[in-house]
Structure 1
Amino acid sequence: MKKIFITVTCVLLLTYSFAQHKTKNLIIVTLDGMRWQEVYRGADSAMINSKYTTDKDEVRKKYWVRSVGERRKLLFPFLWSVISKQGQLYGNRDAGNKDELANLYRFSYPGYNEIFTGFPDARMNTNDPITNPNMNVLEYINKQKGFEGKVIAFSSWERFPQILNVNRSGLPVYSGYADLKNPDANARLKYLNELQHNVPPYLGDSTRLDFITYEYSKEYIRQYKPRVLYMAFDETDDMAHAGNYKFYLDRAKQEDGYIKSIWDMIQADPFYKNNTTLLITCDHGRGDEPMDKWRDHGADVKGSENTWFAVIGPDTAPTGEVKTPTVTYHKQLAQTIAQLLGFDFKANAGHEVGDAIKTVIK
């Protein structure tokens, strides 16, 4: 991919001072395979009227109005009622703003590797359970003073222990149907250990429901007050691969609601209030033309490199939707995450880390 790297300028500072940053804690959320098209356009009328949508009248009632602005708010009310006013959103290609993958594979493991290690590694070209040799930014933060043992990940997809290399990093990563191991866990967390094994496993025997991942994350925040928490949802990708546009939309709106609930909770908690940044993104895009390609992604699917992200917090200017003709890459997110907390992410030898995206307030 030969593209000129362009530094975002419209919402950025000319200088960035670590001494002035206010972010003390960070919440990262990913919506697996969530297309930029629905994020910025809302539900697609062609998709609603296609073979991929059951209960068309119900879907139109829930998600369709003519106005793009109102339509996307129906699907993502938190993104378009809160972050659009108090934070920033990147990747609306209709407005000329692009957010993209630098890796050429354009599916999940390579996408998450890029997000968290800061570069596209040609060796990370499978979704198989291979161990990632690259240091990730969560591992790096977990080694910094004041963050030791305060970084954790909950994911629906079972592959994150390998992506984040728990054997080397020592990060607590609870993925798939893994039970929380803390002996002092409260009654709610212990109940979730039991509950997750009794809910219908409609995503398969290895990937758990996003509801369980959300509940673990929320309750862990309440009890343990982590400094950095990563919450990885999966169902949007599953529903798209299944070709069920109604469920894809429903899961997207549900996950927006989960994110709102987490944000409202931390803003009501003195430990987190006004000192926590929330970053939301995806691991890859999906196809668009022909229509059937919306189910797919990968190196041979045009459009699956097109991604998006949103950020809100005390160091982020409330400029809303970024509409300037600039390009950001997911390889920049690792350093962005680090610098929001006042760190300079230095990865293991052999590769550079993408430059941070400066979202800070003047």
Structure 2
Amino acid sequence: MKQLVCLVVVFFTQIEFSLAQKSSDNRVIVITTDGLRWQDVFKGMDTSIAKKKMYHHGDSLAIFNQFWDDDLAVRRKKLMPFLWGELVQKGQIHGNRTLGNQVDVANPHWFSYPGYSELLTGQVDTAINSNDYKPNPNTNFFEYLNQLPSYKNQVVAFGAWDAFDRILNEKRAGFPVINGYDVYPELNKDPQMKLISDMLSQSFRVFGDVESQDVFIHFQAMRYLKTKKPKAMYISYGETDEFAHEGAYQHYLGAVHHFDAWLKEIWDFVESDPLYQGKTTILITTDHGRGDIQKDQWKSHGKKVQDSHEIWFAMLGAGVKPMGEVKQGAQVYQKDLIHLLADKLHLNFKSERKE
């Protein structure tokens, strides 16, 4: 009997060791773009918005030439060629509500800080009810990873919006959160990183002091990815939200198209580098939706915009079954996504509240 018990203990110990070893090799990248509507992802350019002069600012011919086609499949691929090309073949895309596949935020507020907190902590804290909220008292997934020996000091976040210092609670979490117009002297020891930082600091601040243009964040993140080779990375783009709030649909569509191109660049690097190839799981999503039932509300979101709780997500890479556009009826919430990702990494993450 004692021998049997010993064998069982050894068996389960070996399984745990095997899983831990497998998890230690895994890499993860989470990518968000602020307020990108599921309607544009799954249907492409919306003519009812594009035709209105107040939204195309006299540039309707250009956006129709670039993004319109009568065929929905062609139209959405024109807007997001990587998503509806390589990603749909190799990964999963969820959230097409016309097929009954529903993805929603679970928090009651339907704007950015609560959405990012829900996504990154895997749970809802209803007290987080403002974009100016204090540093997040809830631990996040990347903070959890940074506490694991196999990920320690190999975690980083980049974001266009300067609120991520608070959303990810950089001081407590212990990993670098490079957001907005942050300057990191240590990173600037790399001449290319310093050049990007100098360009950022001297650029015209299109969105004021709180948010940088996405191109700078993208180039910083890509340089870091290629040179530092982190095991866990978060990248957040913001222009899809900024241009939508301005009612500039042509710029919004351009930002979506750029975002898709940057997804391809990230994926192409992952597939070309031996440290990442076959070991990296990527989650792509957004923080909230926007109006659509009332077309003039496409610029807005929040509790007063009845359909702005509707979102979408995509997954690609290690452990992700190639399901393409998921057409089965389902209900998934934003708080579930980081747990789906953790499962792919064989990790059991649970957020903790630390005041």
Same fold (TM over 0.5): yes
Write the deviation string for residues 120-179 of structure 1: whole angstroms up to 9, x where unpaired.
Answer: 111110000411100111100111121001110000000001001112111210110002
CA–CA distance in structure 1, aligned partners of residues 188 and 97 of structure 2: 47
Q: Aligned partners of 1:269, 1:166: CA distance in 2, in Å?
A: 28
Following superposition, the deviation at residue 256 of structure 1 comes to: 0.8
1:137 counterpart (141, 152, 168): 141
Give the Cα separation in 2 of the matches to 1:260 and 1:200.
27
* Aligned residue number for residue 72 of structure 1: 76
Equivalents in 2 of 1:254, 1:303: separation in Å? 25
Match of 1:171 in 2: 175
Q: Secondary structure at the match of 1:310?
A: strand
What is the rounded CA distance, in whole Å, between the counterparts of 2:263 and 2:26 in structure 1? 19
Gaps of 5+ in 1: 1-16, 351-362
Percent identity reads 37
> Which of 270, 276, 297 lines up with 2:274 in the alignment?
270
Q: 1:33 aligns with which of 14, 32, 35?
A: 35
Greater per-residue helix proportion = 2
| Partner of residue 358, structure 1 | none
State the structure with more CA Rg: 2
Deviation at 1:18, TM superposition (A): 5.1
SS of structure 1 residue aligned to 2:55: coil
2:239 and 2:163 map into 1 onto residues whose CA distance is: 14
Separation in structure 2 between the aligned mates of residue 244 and residue 183 of structure 1, nearest angstrom = 34
The count of corresponding residues between Structure 1 and Structure 2 is 334
Q: Secondary structure at the match of 1:222?
A: helix
The corresponding residue for 1:355 is none
Q: Is the 8 A contact 1:22 1:315 kept in 2?
A: no
Check 1:298–1:149 CA distance in 2 against 1; reply closer, same or farther (3 A cut): same
| Residues in 2 aligned to 1:204 and 1:72: alpha-carbon distance in whole angstroms | 31
- After TM superposition, the structure 1 stretch with the greater mean CA deviation from structure 2, 181-190 or 202-211, is 181-190
Gaps of 5+ in 2: 1-17
The letter for the 2-side match of 1:53 is: H
- Deviation string 1:160-208 (CA, Å, 9 cap, x unpaired) is 0100111211121011000233267421112112111112211112211
- Secondary structure at the aligned position of 1:280 is classed as strand
Structure 1 residue 330: Cα displacement: 0.5
Shift of 1:277: 1.3
**1:45 has 2:44 as partner:** no
Between 269-278 and 20-29, the greater mean CA deviation after superposition: 20-29
Alignment partner of 1:88 is 2:97: no
Equivalent of 1:342 in 346, 349, 352: 346
After TM superposition, the structure 1 = structure 2 runs for residues 251-270 of structure 1, keeping only pairs within 5 Å, are: 251-270=255-274
Letter in 2 for 1:182: E
Answer whether contact 1:176 1:208 (CA < 8 A) is retained. yes
Question: Which amino acid is the alignment partner of residue 229 of structure 1?
Answer: M
- Give CA-to-partner distance per residue, 1:209-228, whole Å, 9 cap, x none: 10000001000011100001
RMSD (Å), alpha carbons: 1.7
Give the match's secondary structure for 2:201. Answer: coil
The answer to whether residue 211 in structure 2 is matched with residue 234 in structure 1 is: no
Does the 8 Å CA contact 2:281/2:341 hold for their aligned counterparts? no
Cα distance between partner residues in 1 of 2:225 and 2:23: 22
- Distance verdict in 2 for CA 1:77–1:309, change over 3 Å: same
Match of 1:159 in 2: 163
Aligned match for 2:152, one of 148, 152, 156: 148
Alpha carbons 2:320, 2:344 under 8 Å: kept? no
Compared CA separation, residues 133 and 203, structure 1 to 2 (3 A): same
> Which amino acid in structure 2 is aligned with residue 315 of structure 1?
G
Shift of 1:91: 0.3
